[in-house]
Amino acid sequence: MNKIGYCIWAPDFVKSSAGIRALYILCDQLNSMGYDSHVVFSSKTPANLSAPLMSLKKASSLAKSGKKIVVYPETVPGNPLDAKYVVRWVLNIPGLLGGTRIYNPNEKVFYYSEVFKPYICNKTEGKLYLPTVEEDIFHNNDVKASERNLTVFYVGKSTFKPGYFEKNKALEITRTFPEKSSLGPIFRQASVFYCFDNSSIICYEAAMCGCPTIIIPDGTQTREDYEKLELGMNGIAWGPEELPSAVESIKNLKPKYDQIKANFGNEIEYFVKSTQEWDDEKIDSYIASLPTDLLETRNQKIKEFQELYFSTSFTLAKNLQGKYPNIIEISFLFAFALKKISFMKKIMYKFIGRK
């Protein structure tokens, strides 16, 4: 049987997002297994991963004819590339960061973590948990507890809540500061890390450096959710009162992470086996069974998407965004010059709104 390659839908690569990193690492892993794979929609890919870019127009042409399998994260609504074979990789709670909560029944749905499975309405194929902690940065080699004197905190996608520590005496980490490579040394000097964002890998990155993390609940996750996570509560406190248990359990985190890495090989092999096998008759009969008005609506949405995103203007704007990440205005001004109002709104949402 011929190997079918993959097109993986991903935003521009950023080190600060574990979900985005996972998409690029998946592409790299699939290429290493001999499946010709590319990243689509992005204009920026890391040099150290085999994650080449492909244009949306080319990807759609290949995917529509079944020559490529498309992997969408849960944040992408529908099937904008009109792909015949669709894999949905649920990297977070469906609908929390965008996208819909119910997927096409012909999609093969994988979830990143056991904690997300109960929130998925569709039948699932299995789990694909891809370890994303960069161990060359986040480690606890030769660090003494007596040398730790920093209090560090991170707000991320959540909001700051006062009363837990003296803010003017603590170091704030943001999604852009400091550089990722500097986070490891900071965490190795920290005695405690307060994390207000309940959906970020950074809590485990800190703990991998020997710094216990205190999660400040924001309502998006529960303690039970964290207990179900693959790395569990090792090094994690659900509120300040659990700090002693986090300090005690932090020694278990690295062995647990090593175990997860060992399991990944089996999970990605199953992922490939499952996604290389499709029931064409079932897919075709489902599309044929759709009511005319629903099918017309579906096709119209795909047409509108492709008119916008396959345009030369959008491609140029994306290339400019990838080449000049600090000059987002170029993309906006380009659209303004063309009097593309809807295009301007899209750029504001996709580029400026995502920063």
pLDDT of 352: 40
Domain check: are 331 and 192 in the same one? no
Domain check: are 58 and 80 in the same one? yes
Query: In the numeric block, which tokens belong to residue 130?
Result: 């891809």
pLDDT digits (tens, 9 = 90+) for 155-206: 998 999 999 999 999 999 998 889 888 999 999 999 999 999 998 999 999 9
Higher-pLDDT residue of 12 and 143 is: 12
Identity of the amino acid at 333: L
Measuring CA to CA, how many Å separate 310 from each of 58, 81, 266, 317, 353? 9, 10, 37, 12, 21
Least confident range from 2-16, 24-38, 91-105: namely 91-105
Domain check: are 27 and 48 in the same one? yes
Rounded CA-CA distance 119/94 in Å is 7
pLDDT of 334: 52
Domain check: are 80 and 35 in the same one? yes
Position 330 in a domain: yes
pLDDT of 329: 47
CATH number where 97 lies: 3.40.50
CA 346 to chain centre: 21
**DSSP H helix total and E strand total for the chain:** 12, 12
> φ and ψ at 289, to 5 degrees?
-85, -10
CB 285 within 8 A of CB 274: no
Identity of the amino acid at 343: F
pLDDT of 327: 45
Position 276 in a domain: yes
Residue 326: which pLDDT band, with cuts at 50, 70 and 90?
Answer: very low
Domain check: are 181 and 265 in the same one? no
Which class for 73: exposed (0-12), middle (13-18), buried (19 or more C-beta within 10 A)? buried
Domain check: are 171 and 284 in the same one? no
pLDDT digits (tens, 9 = 90+) for 76-129: 988 989 999 999 999 988 887 778 888 999 999 999 999 899 999 999 999 999
Position 117 in a domain: yes
Query: In the numeric block, which tokens belong to residue 91?
Result: 């990297």
pLDDT digits (tens, 9 = 90+) for 277-319: 999 898 888 877 878 877 788 777 777 777 766 665 556 555 5
pLDDT of 354: 38
24 pLDDT above the threshold of 90: yes
The overall average pLDDT reported for the chain is 86
Identity of the amino acid at 204: Y
Rounded CA-CA distance 43/325 in Å is 10
pLDDT of 96: 77
Which class for 38: exposed (0-12), middle (13-18), buried (19 or more C-beta within 10 A)? buried
pLDDT of 355: 33
List the beta bridge partners of residue 98.
Answer: none
Position 112 in a domain: yes
Domain check: are 50 and 25 in the same one? yes
41-59 mean pLDDT: 93
Give the count of domains, the chain. 3
Domain check: are 116 and 44 in the same one? yes
Position 202 in a domain: yes
316-340 mean pLDDT: 51
Contacts of residue 320, Cβ cutoff 8 Å, sequence gap at least 6: 327, 330, 331, 334
Query: In the numeric block, which tokens belong to residue 147?
Result: 């040398």
pLDDT digits (tens, 9 = 90+) for 225-267: 999 999 999 999 999 999 999 999 999 999 999 999 999 999 9
pLDDT of 319: 58
> φ and ψ at 125, to 5 degrees?
-85, -35
Residue 323: which pLDDT band, with cuts at 50, 70 and 90?
Answer: low
Position 297 in a domain: no
Rounded CA-CA distance 42/151 in Å is 36
342 pLDDT above the threshold of 60: no
pLDDT of 5: 97
Higher-pLDDT residue of 43 and 166 is: 166
Domain check: are 52 and 150 in the same one? no
Query: In the numeric block, which tokens belong to residue 209?
Result: 């450096």
Q: β-strand 150-154 against 171-173: which pairing, if any?
A: parallel
Position 153 in a domain: yes
Measuring CA to CA, how many Å separate 190 from each of 20, 84, 150, 151, 229? 27, 50, 4, 6, 24
Domain check: are 12 and 104 in the same one? yes
Position 300 in a domain: no
Rounded CA-CA distance 111/293 in Å is 32
Domain check: are 149 and 123 in the same one? no
pLDDT of 285: 84
The structure's pTM equals 0.77
Domain check: are 280 and 222 in the same one? no
Domain containing 195 equals 145-250
